[in-house]
A and B are shown apart, each in its own frame.
Chain A
Amino acid sequence: MVLRLSKITKRFGKVVANDAVSLDLARGEVVALLGENGAGKTTLMNILFGQYAADEGFVEVFGHRLPPGSPRAALEAGVGMVHQHFTLAENLTVWENITLGTMPLFGRSLAARGAKARIRDLAADFKLAVDPDALVSDLTVGERQRVEILKALYRDARILILDEPTAVLTPQEADGLFATLRKAVEQGLSVVFISHKLHEVMAIADRVVVLRHGRLAATRKTAETTREELASLMVIGATQSPEFATRPAGPALMTLTGVGTGTDMGGVPLRDVTMTLHGGQITGLAGVSGNGQAALSDLVAGLLAPTAGQMQLAEVQVANWSPRQALAHGIARIPEDRHKTGTIADFDLTENAMLEQYNTEFAHRGWINWRKARVHAERLIDTYDIRCPGPDTRIRLLSGGNMQKLILGRALETDPTIILANQPVRGLDIGAVNYVHTRLGEARDRGAAVLLISEDLDEIMKLSDVIHVISEGRLSPGFARGSIDAAGLGAWMAGDGFAEATHAS
């Protein structure tokens, strides 16, 4: 037994985040900590790592009790943690981030050469390719995560905690991560893996510990359980995953003809994109992130003007428009990054709920009607089941799922004709995923056109009436539901098929 958490209880004010949770971990074992958002997974791991002090209970590593509230003690005992939101200094190099705090503070030298050599060795051993001299700000998200793991390995961590490590990774990067973890386990490390993606848990873990509302709900050996059982353990009265049947296409609400965008925005520009969004349909956009999704999304949201081709909104020709005009034309947006562009972290729920209508719906002769705004926020909280202490809560205190529900509610309450849903369920747990999908389905059934952008092929194939694949800024023809399988989409995602399509035309 390398690690034992005994009856950990942690309260934040009135909220009990962990209620007498116990957990143990053997050498070379991978335990998945599974649970909905707000189930207390991260809190539990932060207690283990010493960032929070438990109100009751204790942590034992290799038979020794850790003093509460000391990351230093946890690090020295051999616990390494990869946080969901990376803790890297961007303006420092990789090796500086990794060696930070590993030497006596008043030591005379950084011994940079030896440190870099050791990092290179570790990187080679664990298949974590990264240049020690690179600035962290120049790295991709996947590379940054490798740096985080190297940080732990550099300190000879024997226990590795990963908090939702795949939330920010592409499927390929996630596979690389799993390869690294298997390597680590071979070398005798033990891993705690926080996730709410069932297929990952089944693929990597030996044992699954399910948390629900801060309590230990169940422990199962992976070999003796199923995804369905785990799903039902995670969510009491598990919400049903919604069914999507094909519907006849409604009127064309938005048409792009031969649209291209400039390169000045950064990212991949669009090339000769032609597509139509029909009312009453969900149009799925499949593709590996960074292939022009951002440009297409910005185009629809009014953030970007086309440099070529035509953009038509029902009957209206659109050339160069603003997000405000987009809103006025009934386009609702669920942005890709709910933290950066979807919400203002230090505004409360009331303010965040009225962000898109503060000067129209909630303004009266230039003054904000706060009473109306508050009522609106309260209605969203009720209708969309946003779990929070109240409309005065700063939105940064909400979990990702609840934040997304507010964004969803804000978008849908305006009764939009076109809904831009960019990665609407990224990082959400099953309950929230089903909820968001159900709501999008209802909006479709009301006659709205939904543009769903996602990297998750399962999601795309389940929801979409029509699927387009985007690759290097080019758009495939639309495939009706059921007319193409994952392998077929994968080929288009890799860029096959575009050449023939060009020849054919």
Chain B
Amino acid sequence: MDVIEILMSASFWAAAIRIASPLIFATLGELVCERAGVLNLGIEGIMVAGAFAGWIAVWAGLPLWGGVGVAMVAGMGFGALHGVLSVLFGLSQHVVGVGITLLATSLTFYTYRVALPEVSTPPKIEAFQVYEIPILSKIPVIGPALFAQTPLTYLAFGLAGALAWGLYRTPLGLAIRAVGESPASVAAQGLSVAALRMGAVIFGSGLMAVGGAFLTMSAFDSFFFDMVNGRGWICIALVVFGAWRPGKALLGAILFAAFDAFQIRLQQTGIGAHVPYQIFLMMPYILSILALVLMSRRASVPAALMVPFNKGER
């Protein structure tokens, strides 16, 4: 049977992990923002900006990791803007977020045209190469899937663990979780609500941008306009799916990516000949909606998500 064959193949799982990587970065970024009480709908635009910033920096001569840094800084810039408007001014997080997405997307396209006015096809860069981890990558199926990836994928997985540890095992993590639950109690314990939320939004936005940069610097080697293509919105759903926990969010991203990789392969089998390909394209989204419905019943939303905090107000 074709389906079994697909699920058993190493290349399928390798593709799933590759597709999951940018989602992991951005989902973790969104998760940090939301844990601090800020819904960051700027994610889609910040990913576009990150994809472009990292790529153009490398094209201009920076080393690959330098490009990742540039993408992160670009994302943090938009995060800072989001924070000023939504945290310091206490404006509606929906409006600010959508505004940031529109701004980041259009600024990116504008910068692209200014930087490369004469180009019809965007130039390619020397992207991150697969690094096979010795011994581990020789394990059947799991080896090529998990241990024959680009360095950015390893970073994504490491980050999920680091964030889980940070959120639940460190004073800073506790403060971030608390500020998303009850800013008043954070203020009463002598901590700055504004500083914690600003920090979380800026850091989280940086991660989103790295997720975007993965697309241009690791998955592909060039920049296209519709590259991000709604991945940011998927990540918002993945945060809910993951019940605001890094580990579950990581699994959610892999699950979604696996559906995506699966439908591509399914199109090439015998079934694909009889069913319109749009049905296959729809699959990951339908399945993620279903999973979301099942999972989010038990999820506990941060109580102060989207609630601005104004110091000294009665």
Contact = CB atoms under 8 A, between A and B. Distances in A.
A90 interface: yes
A110 B171 contact: yes
Interface of A: 12, 51-53, 69-72, 74-76, 81, 83, 86-92, 96-97, 99-110, 151, 396-397
Contacts of A100: 174-175, 178, 185-186, 189, 191
B92 to A, nearest CB: 14
Contacts of B169: 109-110
Contact of B190 (A72, A90, A97, A108): A72
Contact of B182 (A87, A105, A108): A87
A396 B310 CA distance: 15
Interface residues of B, number: 24
A12 B312 CA distance: 11
B186 A91 contact: no
Nearest to B173: A110
Contact of B177 (A92, A99, A102, A105): A92
Interface of B: 169-172, 174-175, 177-178, 181-182, 184-191, 300, 302-303, 311-312, 314
A81 B188 CA distance: 8
A436 to B, nearest CB: 23
Nearest to B311: A51
A102 B188 CA distance: 12
Contact of A91 (B184, B190, B302): B302
Contacts of B312: 51-53, 69
Question: Among the interface residues B169, B170, B178, B190, which one has the most CB atoms of the partner chain A within 10 A?
Answer: B190
Given A91-B302, A101-B175, A83 B188 contact: yes
Contacts of A99: 171, 174
Contacts of B187: 51, 71, 87
Given A52-B312, A101-B175, A109-B169, A92 B181 contact: yes
B314 A75 contact: no
B171 A89 contact: no
A104 B169 CA distance: 13
Given A51-B188, A101-B175, A104-B171, 12 more contacts: A51-B311, A51-B312, A70-B190, A72-B190, A74-B190, A88-B182, A91-B181, A100-B189, A101-B190, A105-B172, A106-B171, A110-B174
A76 B190 contact: yes
13 contacts: A87-B187, A88-B182, A89-B178, A89-B185, A91-B303, A96-B174, A99-B171, A100-B189, A101-B186, A103-B171, A105-B171, A105-B172, A106-B172
A90 B303 contact: yes
Contacts of B190: 70-72, 74-76, 101
Contacts of B171: 99, 103-107, 110
Contacts of A90: 181-182, 303
A108 B178 CA distance: 17
A109 B170 contact: yes
Nearest to A105: B172
A299 to B, nearest CB: 31
A71 B185 CA distance: 11
Question: Among the interface residues B171, B177, B181, B311, which one has the most CB atoms of the partner chain A within 10 A?
Answer: B171
Contacts of B182: 87-90
Contacts of B181: 89-92
A429 B311 CA distance: 27
